């Protein structure tokens, strides 16, 4: 009797006859995601390194240029950041008291000078103001009782630059008119041109800057050169210049 059909048939080994069969996986099998290379940190590190190299290179070039240029480059940068420097030179007479200053002011105005009183403790009577120290010294040496009183301030304001233009224009016009090189018509044209410029600033500023603009516009508007004698108008123009410079220093400096 054949008992072969009752023999135990064990399961074939997994490696037998299944070389080409696809791998069986659990329905819940989830393959692990592929690992990503950490490139972000490397790129960031390279960027930082490049930036540091650029900054160091620029610094070395700057210091070398500034060293061989004897500090010219650093001084230029300092000026650019802090603004332009405005410097004015008054020809003044010292006064021992306020009453002496007032008396001196009247005398100066009668001679065609501004007669502007500077100071609250120490008093000075200003004849006029100049943008160039050499010019101021030339005027001062003609009268040994006078001194040079210098005012300096820094400002990045466009208004400060325009005030400087105004003072320069009036200084030249007053000087030329005083020595007869130009007439009152030429001076009036300079006054009108500057008045038009500052009138355009009326809506650009507030508070103290607005007050400075109004002072300039109203002052320029008050000149009528043909209405009074020349020496009086010269005195008023010089007084106005002194007032503008010191007001601008207090507001913009």
Average pLDDT over residues 26-41: 56
Please tell me which residue, 87 or 12, carries the higher pLDDT value: 87
The answer to whether residue 237 is domain-embedded is yes
Asked if residue 92 has pLDDT above 70, the reply is yes
What's the number of CA atoms in the CB half-sphere (13 Å) around residue 199? 10
Q: Which residue has the higher pLDDT, 16 or 243?
A: 243
- pLDDT attached to residue 161: 97
pLDDT at residue 231 tops 70: yes
In whole angstroms, give the CA distance from residue 103 to residue 108.
9
In a domain, 34, yes or no: no
The per-residue pLDDT for 117 is: 97
* Beta-bridge partner residues of 125: 93, 117
The tally of domains found in the chain comes to 1
Give domain status of residue 10, yes or no: no
What six digits make up the tokens of 44?
A: 């960031």
Task: Say what percent of the chain tops pLDDT 90.
Answer: 62
**144 within some domain:** yes
Taken in order 89, 91, 95, 101, the sign of the CA dihedral is negative
Phi, psi dihedrals of residue 126, rounded to the nearest 5°: -90, 130
pLDDT tens column, 158-174: 999 999 999 999 999 99
Residue 66 inside a domain? The answer is no
Residue 69 lies in a domain: no
Q: What is the rounded CA–CA span in Å between residue 155 and residue 253?
A: 6
The whole-number average pLDDT for the span 190-201 is: 97
| Predicted confidence (pLDDT) at residue 77 exceeds the cutoff of 90 | no
Find, among 174, 183, 181, the residue nearest to 237 by Cα: 174
CA angle 37, 39, 41 (to 5 degrees): 125
Containing domain of residue 109, as a range? Answer: 85-252
Residue 246 neighbours by CB distance under 10 Å: 18
More confident residue, 247 or 66: 247
Question: In the predicted model, what is the mean pLDDT of residues 115-134?
Answer: 95
Q: Give the residue with greater pLDDT, 192 vs 7.
A: 192
pLDDT attached to residue 136: 97
List the one residue out of 126, 80, 72, 137 whose CA is nearest residue 244: 126
Residue 32 placed within a domain:
no
pLDDT of residue 224: 84
Does 122 map to a domain? Answer: yes
């Amino acid at each position: 009797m054949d008992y072969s059909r009752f023999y135990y048939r064990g399961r074939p080994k997994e490696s037998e006859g299944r070389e080409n069969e696809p791998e069986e996986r659990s329905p819940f099998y989830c393959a692990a995601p592929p690992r990503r290379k950490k490139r972000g940190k490397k790129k960031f590190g390279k960027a930082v390194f490049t930036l540091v190299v650029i900054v160091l290179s620029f610094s070395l070039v700057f210091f070398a240029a500034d060293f061989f240029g004897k500090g010219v480059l650093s001084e230029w940068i300092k000026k650019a950041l802090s603004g332009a420097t405005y410097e004015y030179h008054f020809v003044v007479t010292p006064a021992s008291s306020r009453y002496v200053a007032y008396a001196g002011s009247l005398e100066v105005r009668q001679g065609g000078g501004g007669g502007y009183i500077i100071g609250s403790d120490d008093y000075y009577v200003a004849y006029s103001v100049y943008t160039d120290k050499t010019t101021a010294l030339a005027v001062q040496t003609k009268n040994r009782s006078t001194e040079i009183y210098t005012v300096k301030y820094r400002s990045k304001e466009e208004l400060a630059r325009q005030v400087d233009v105004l003072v320069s224009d009036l200084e030249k016009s007053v000087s030329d008119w005083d020595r007869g090189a130009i007439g009152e018509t030429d001076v009036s044209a300079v006054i009108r041109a500057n008045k038009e410029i500052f009138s355009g600033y009326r809506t650009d500023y507030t508070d103290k800057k607005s007050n400075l603009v109004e002072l300039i516009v109203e002052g320029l508007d008050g000149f009528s050169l043909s209405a009074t004698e020349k020496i009086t108008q010269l005195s008023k123009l010089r007084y106005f210049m002194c007032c503008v410079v010191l007001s601008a220093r207090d507001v913009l400096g």
